[in-house]
Chain A
């Protein structure tokens, strides 16, 4: 494994949990898979379709998201929405994210 592969692997690991958090926050407004993919990527939260679609199903299975088929438009689409449990989890994750960020900031300044 060369350096860039190692870097990519670690970056992927670091981002994995943030995608869950981003989905839970973003889907407080219901949306369907492809629109979510687009909006996350345009916000700079880089996620692959092969990661996002299975993730949505998994979060739904864990009752963190609910889903509903919308048949108003030409094509039926599955709209996901963050459930109450999902909102609570997002709060907990966000708190932890901030705590880690502070801690890392403390580490970095401590070095100087």
Chain B
């Protein structure tokens, strides 16, 4: 045995646990010596080159060691791949965006300007990378150290036939509840616009007649909002009767914008809230609190409308139906009465 063989044995066994190292080393030494002898006997190599040729025949020591020790030459094997992918898609679908939005909100409240956008994108990206890395690391470790007590991928995913997607004609299990939820919310919003006129501020347990919204808005903007609410309701019924498609998604975006832009504009211009309401509330708030509440209000209106718009676009992109941003493979409700 020469130095070359020793180096090969070292390279092949160094990544193994100490207990297996010596044993595999003996095995390989026997194989190498036999291969050398065979090459010399058959005349395939000269005695000088036989060792070198034999090691070439054995190939890369890391690959050889892997084939001997049954270690997987992959990060995540077929058993865990689907579980890994499902979890990763699920987490990446909302965690980075949520963290970035929360961070942006915090930065704006603490006095940040436009540079907050860049900072939030950076935070979102690094969260996305972290999520991907740690999830993958955990699965790679499971792949290596799981002793195999867990069953098939099917068992891991907990799949049952009940989870099969609905066929196209019957796949909108949520549409009735979507419609009812939309109509209830719109009714509450319309009622609120009218009701706030008669005062919402309580002082000493007694309702004072201070309207929340500026009564001057009744000349145009509040009727406009009420009409918009009626349009939204009609649109909800329309969606219930037809389905999501690109045209409907664009109408939905337009309706959201028609709500968000005037409301935010009125708020920023100081025309949204009634002077009496501001006068009653202002003494209780310092400048920082006013700033924070303003950011939360604008951010909240923008976020709700953006969410609604994206919801419609996602549903249209999926060809209609189904709940939005569902956990992939979630249960569709069992058809009743079967």
Interface residues in chain A, defined as those with a beta carbon under 8 Å from any beta carbon in chain B? 32-34, 38, 49-50, 53-54, 57-58, 69, 75-78
Contact = CB atoms under 8 A, between A and B. Distances in A.
A34 B34 contact: yes
Residue among B26, B30, B58 facing the most chain A CB atoms (10 A cut-off): B30
Contacts of A32: 30, 34
Contact of A50 (B30, B59, B70): B59
Nearest to B70: A58
The size class of the interface chain B forms with chain A is 10 to 19
Contacts of A33: 30-31, 34
Contacts, number: 38
A49 B30 contact: no
B159 to A, nearest CB: 28
Given A50-B58, A50-B64, A53-B31, 14 more contacts: A32-B34, A34-B30, A34-B31, A34-B38, A49-B31, A49-B58, A50-B59, A50-B67, A57-B27, A58-B70, A69-B26, A76-B30, A78-B26, A78-B27
Interface of B: 26-27, 30-31, 33-35, 38, 57-59, 64, 67-68, 70
A9 B105 CA distance: 58
Nearest to B30: A77
Contacts of A53: 27, 31, 68
Contacts of B35: 34, 49
Given A50-B64, A53-B27, A57-B27, A75 B70 contact: no
- Nearest first, the 9 closest Cβ-Cβ pairs linking A and B are A34-B34, A54-B67, A54-B68, A77-B30, A75-B33, A53-B31, A57-B68, A33-B31, A78-B30
Contacts of B38: 34, 38
B31 A76 contact: no
Contacts of A58: 70
Nearest to B38: A34
18 contacts: A32-B30, A32-B34, A33-B30, A34-B30, A34-B31, A34-B38, A49-B31, A49-B58, A50-B58, A50-B59, A50-B64, A53-B27, A53-B31, A54-B67, A75-B30, A75-B33, A76-B30, A78-B27
A106 B64 CA distance: 42
A53 B12 CA distance: 14
A41 B33 CA distance: 19
B59 to A, nearest CB: 7
A76 B26 contact: yes
A110 to B, nearest CB: 36
B136 to A, nearest CB: 28
Contacts of A38: 38
Nearest to B63: A50
Contacts of B67: 50, 54
Nearest to A69: B26
